[in-house]
Structure 1
Amino acid sequence: MDDLDRAVVHALHVDGRVPFSRIGAVLGVSTQTVARRYRRLRAEAGLRVVGLAEPARAGRAQWMVRLTASPHTSQDVAHALARRADTSWVKLASGGTEILAIIDTPAESATSHPLLLRDIPRTASITAVSAHYVLHTYLGGPTAWRGRAHALTEEQRRQLEPPAGVGRDVAESDAALLAALSRDGRAVLADLATATGWSPATVARRLADLRAGGALFFDVEIDPALFGATTQALLWMAVTPARLDAVAVALAGHDELAFVAATTGPTNLVAHALCADPAGLHAYLTHRLGPIEGIRTLETAPVLRTLKAAGPLGP
């Protein structure tokens, strides 16, 4: 990736649906050049923009589930989880025997989800399960990893920001629209109209309403190694309750982290770290995380592979 590639990715980080013409005008290149770079990054670097509903605004709850499986079955179990419509961020960690998945559930039935209570316990190859209810997300979603967001100036970023406004919450009638955007956040209005049965004008209006209030956001999926982050780890922390909010807020400001959330369970704070190499992770843990008061224990689980990110798997 060169500087222009990184600038295009940063522009999409600011607004996943920003027109190529606006990116080109801000960067001083043609619309065709931006479109060509975007197509190449999709084909060669796995770049993908996905539209996602903010869970609380859509009446959804999330669980982080940690599974330990036998070495010869862990990949099969992880792939099976990745194929489910209610999972995201499926990762192999800790030498390949641990699987992490985020499970999306209706908020009103968060404690009776079939995957949590039936499907997982009946899988004989799984030797351990722990489920952590996500209580509050401090970093994630529309404020994802900032390691890929250093290519634009502040003025360029301001020019690319989507317009503000008064928004609306997600409704049941938005299901088809959200499903289409989760597959391709940059789908054109005509395609979204076909998917929903609405007119393009209605789609545009509904998109604007959902985005304005933060009920809908756009995530950019791309291999972080292309930005120099070759070492990833999940950090499971037990934090003194009185310090939990202060610690989480401090961590949310760290550029090395892509996700910070308070959860239930024996650990009450989890973070996802992306560093240049093992030495960089060690430096982060000892020099940035170590001095923060209130962290009683820390478990570091290296991430070997991400099988599924925020959006659904392709056909």
Structure 2
Amino acid sequence: MLSDTGYPGAVGSDTYDLIDRQLVHALQLAPRAAFSRLAAVLGVSDQTVARRYGRLRGAGAVRVLGLTDPERLGEARWQLRVRCAPDSAGAVAAALARREDTVWVSLNSGGTEISCTTRTPPERADHSLLLQHLPRTPSVLSVAAHCVLHTFFGGAQSLVAKSGALSAEQVAALAPDGPETAGSDSPVPELDATDRRLLGVLAVDGRAPLAELAAACGKSESTVRRRLEELTSSGALYFDLDVDWRIFGLRSHTCLWLNVVPSELAAAGEALAAHPEVAYACATTGPSNLHAVVITRGARELYTYLTTRVAALSGVQHVETAPTIRTVKGPGPLPLPSPRDI
């Protein structure tokens, strides 16, 4: 059974506390850190961290994911808006979520519109999902496709980092010893079949032990450790969290589509990226050239955000809002159902 956020078995917000929020923030900063290191920064015992993490992960409230960066791999990304007949949108969204080339599939605007992101490797430029499958799908009324041109906030950058759950001293204590990722001009290693197996395991569990990763790759643990460092330092691999935002008291998800004067697009996108409410922001093709995902406590906070921060953006000519009814798929593969959900 899916919760109202789309995650199986998510627990109520009244069961979350500061330690939970601090642990999630710490995992965003140091996703593969040992429980002992996380515990030292949080000022609690190793057992407390292990118990809290096990509870959050078991409830589907937090997943640590190792993901590939589409921009670093040269993949084309498209933001899709699929309008369906009301009685079929759920089934179409579920079908889209099962595809390997989709992420962030959600039902919006009263359950008649689906939004999702597709990723197409450079060697497969036919965009078959866009050009063939969706338009021929029964009950699909229209498909609008916006090519992502530039990401202002998202990917390795997370809304969790804006939460303020950890102090500046705690954030500094979890900072990596060296640069986490390389610059945009750094070479990206060519991925082979062994890398694909490694990345497949990390996409499901970013905290998978080295022994498990080595077994999946058929390599030694030292070899896998070096490859992890290479992929991460090149920016091809990053770690993110799939989060039930009720941990932070946030319940309202909204997609924004803004039409911005081209000369103001970069400035508006950078301003959006700095807003504490914005979980994702990108420039796209199409009549709405700036897209954002906003997460707030509720409708009142969304109204305040739209009439203050968004209203103050320079060059915005039109704003369309599409509330998210249910998130069907997040940034990684669909999680396997727990035994109680079968």
Equivalent of 1:145, from 147, 151, 159? 159
1:56 alignment partner, SS class: coil
Ranges in structure 2 where 5+ consecutive residues have no aligned partner: 1-15, 337-342
1:5 alignment partner, SS class: helix
Distance 1:291 1:159 in 2: 36
Give 2:67's aligned amino acid.
L
Give 2:130's aligned amino acid.
L
Equivalent of 1:157, from 168, 171, 183? 171
When the two chains are superposed, the root-mean-square deviation of aligned CA atoms in Å is 1.5
Would you say the 8 A contact 1:229–1:277 is kept in 2?
A: yes
1:90 alignment partner, SS class: strand
Give 1:3's aligned amino acid.
L
Equivalent of 1:66, from 81, 92, 98? 81
| Matched ranges for 1:162-173 at <5 A | 162-165=176-179, 169-173=188-192
| Matched ranges for 1:104-183 at <5 A | 104-110=119-125, 112-146=126-160, 149-165=163-179, 169-173=188-192, 174-183=195-204
> Between Structure 1 and Structure 2, how many residues are aligned?
314
Distance 1:49 1:276 in 2: 23
Cα displacement string for residues 134-178 of structure 1 (whole angstroms, at most 9, x for unaligned residues):
100000011111476311111111111223257552422221111
Distance 1:267 1:224 in 2: 27
Distance 2:104 2:97 in 1: 8
Deviates more, 1:157-166 or 1:8-17: 157-166
Cα displacement string for residues 109-154 of structure 1 (whole angstroms, at most 9, x for unaligned residues):
44x1211111111102100100011100000011111476311111
Distance 1:131 1:195 in 2: 36
Equivalent of 1:245, from 262, 266, 271? 266
Please give the TM-score of this superposition, normalised by the length of structure 2. Answer: 0.89
Q: Does 1:36 align with 2:51?
A: yes
Would you say the 8 A contact 1:135–1:264 is kept in 2?
A: yes
2:156 alignment partner, SS class: helix
Ranges in structure 1 where 5+ consecutive residues have no aligned partner: none
Q: Does 1:103 align with 2:118?
A: yes
Please give the TM-score of this superposition, normalised by the length of structure 1. Answer: 0.96
1:12 alignment partner, SS class: helix
Distance 1:33 1:148 in 2: 24
Distance 2:53 2:162 in 1: 15
Distance 1:170 1:238 in 2: 37
Q: After TM superposition, what 4+ stretches of structure 1 lie above 4 angstroms from structure 2?
A: 165-168
| Matched ranges for 1:142-291 at <5 A | 142-146=156-160, 149-165=163-179, 169-173=188-192, 174-291=195-312
Identical-residue share of aligned pairs (%): 47
